[in-house]
A and B are shown apart, each in its own frame.
Chain A
Amino acid sequence: MSKRFQGILDTITRIRGVRGAMIVVYQDGLVVSDSLMEGVRGNAVAALTSSLAKHVANATSASGAGVLQFLHLQAISGALLAVTAGAEMLVVAIADPSVNVGLVRLELIRAAEALT
């Protein structure tokens, strides 16, 4: 099972500029599987991304935009991208600021499809 997750994550971390990828339990904020560069605090990213995604999902729902699908946070030194995989999981990528967001998004969606 973990080999399957690792294979899914490898397709994301192969993209230039991606520092790591994780599969996170959406409701719990706990890590299912991760592939991260040294120095990335996986547990913290998972817990905070899950919490953030829940809040954003409330906002998209309240605004009539519907169910959250893709989350992209751009910061000065990097970017955080997440895609929901059903109602149970999140696929998260941590990347450099200059990463090809479109490509990462595509691979995150493919990963989410592979999980559901």
Chain B
Amino acid sequence: MTRTYSIEPWVEEPLAAFVAEAGARLALLMTPAGQVIAQHGFTRAVDVMAAAALGAAIVASTGEVAKLLDEPAFSVLNHQGERHGILLGGFDTPQGRMVCLVVYGKESTPGLVQLFFEEFSRDVREACPEPEAPKQVLASDFERELNDSLSALFRT
């Protein structure tokens, strides 16, 4: 059975509900910088890291296109392939902007994924706690925190 894992416990329930309702195969919630907050369906850390990096890059690119068009930001980007489609959507929360990369198959549709993505973003916004005071990041802590995050995302 595919499970939903997160480094922020409050996001697990909304993500699991979204994946079930939208019929998504894979989902990745991250910051616009590519830091992963939660994932569903991935089995290898390397896939998560690659998807997060690519997703963040797409968001950055489309953000620049939006600027050229005098748009505040594109909220949702949708690509459809023969067997799979991807939806990349962003939304604001009390802890800053978040980006979600969703992969869906033939059993779902762009309309359904988009519909439930709107509900998901609302649920995450409501569940999101106020941000804590920023901590000083030490180089010695970085690797440990990265390993802790990966362990949480794959329950290793």
Contact = CB atoms under 8 A, between A and B. Distances in A.
Interface of A: 24-25, 27-31, 43-44, 46-48, 50-51, 54
A31 B112 CA distance: 12
Given A24-B111, A29-B110, 7 more contacts: A25-B111, A30-B109, A30-B114, A43-B115, A48-B112, A51-B111, A54-B109
Contacts of A31: 111
Contact of B114 (A24, A25, A43): A43
Kindly name the residue among B108, B109, B111, B112 whose own CB sees the greatest number of chain A CB atoms within 10 A: B111
Contacts of B109: 27-30, 47, 50-51, 54
Interface residues of B, number: 8
A52 to B, nearest CB: 10
Interface of B: 80, 108-112, 114-115
A51 B112 contact: yes
Contacts of A30: 109-111, 114
6 residue pairs, one from A and one from B, having the closest CB atoms: A29-B111, A47-B111, A29-B109, A47-B115, A47-B112, A30-B111
29 contacts: A25-B111, A27-B109, A28-B80, A28-B109, A28-B111, A29-B109, A29-B110, A29-B111, A29-B115, A30-B109, A30-B110, A30-B111, A31-B111, A43-B111, A43-B115, A44-B115, A47-B109, A47-B111, A47-B112, A47-B114, A47-B115, A48-B112, A50-B109, A50-B112, A51-B108, A51-B109, A51-B111, A51-B112, A54-B109
Contacts of B80: 28
A25 B114 CA distance: 14
B115 to A, nearest CB: 4
A51 to B, nearest CB: 5
Kindly name the residue among A27, A47, A51 whose own CB sees the greatest number of chain B CB atoms within 10 A: A47
